[in-house]
Every structure is written in C-alpha cells, then in structure tokens.
Amino acid sequence: IFRGHEANVFCCDISHDDQYAITGALDKTCRVWDLDSAENLGVLEHSDAITALRFSPYSRRIVVGLRDGKIVVYFSAPLKNRS
C-alpha cells in the first residue's frame, strides 16, 4: 500500500523498467515511489491539482499536467540508481 497523498489520486504511471511509479493527486502533489519497497522517494508540489502525468521513454523526464492548463517537465535524474 502506498500512503502519502492527502486527497484522491487522479493519475499514475510506471517507469519503463518497472522500478518506479509516479502518482498525481488533487492535493496538488506528485509523488515518486519505489515499487519494490513502496518508499516515497520524493514529492513535487504544484500550484493546482494534477490531472495527467507520464514518464518519458527510458524515464529520463516526468511530464506533469495541471488542472489550470500548465505543463511542467522535470528531469528524473534524482531517482536513485538501483543497478
């Protein structure tokens, strides 16, 4: 079980290597999760609710869509290397 959001989760995506998940919620946050341990690896705070998100191919970027129409792109390099 993944716990941390303070409002309903609206969207999620899983990295191409099945190691990470990202969730977006009405609490205006995205959370990055380690799928094996269910550890929350980080929180990305935004100005409005998250309505869409996606890892890019090879999980190098995370693209987040907000209810107010903004799109934010993050480099996902901070994800810990599990090799």
Q: What is the pLDDT of residues 48-81, one digit of tens each?
A: 999 999 999 878 889 999 999 999 998 876 554 3
Whether pTM > 0.75 for this model: the answer is yes
Residue 38: its pLDDT value, please? Answer: 92
Residue 82: its pLDDT value, please? Answer: 39
At 5, list the tokens: 């959001």
Residue 72: its pLDDT value, please? Answer: 93
59-83 burial, b at 16+ Cβ within 10 Å, e below that, comes to beebebbbeeeeeeebebeebeeee
Q: Is the pLDDT of residue 3 over 90?
A: no
Share of the chain above pLDDT 90, in %: 65
35: part of which helix (H) or strand (E)? Answer: none
Name the β-bridge partners of 55: 62
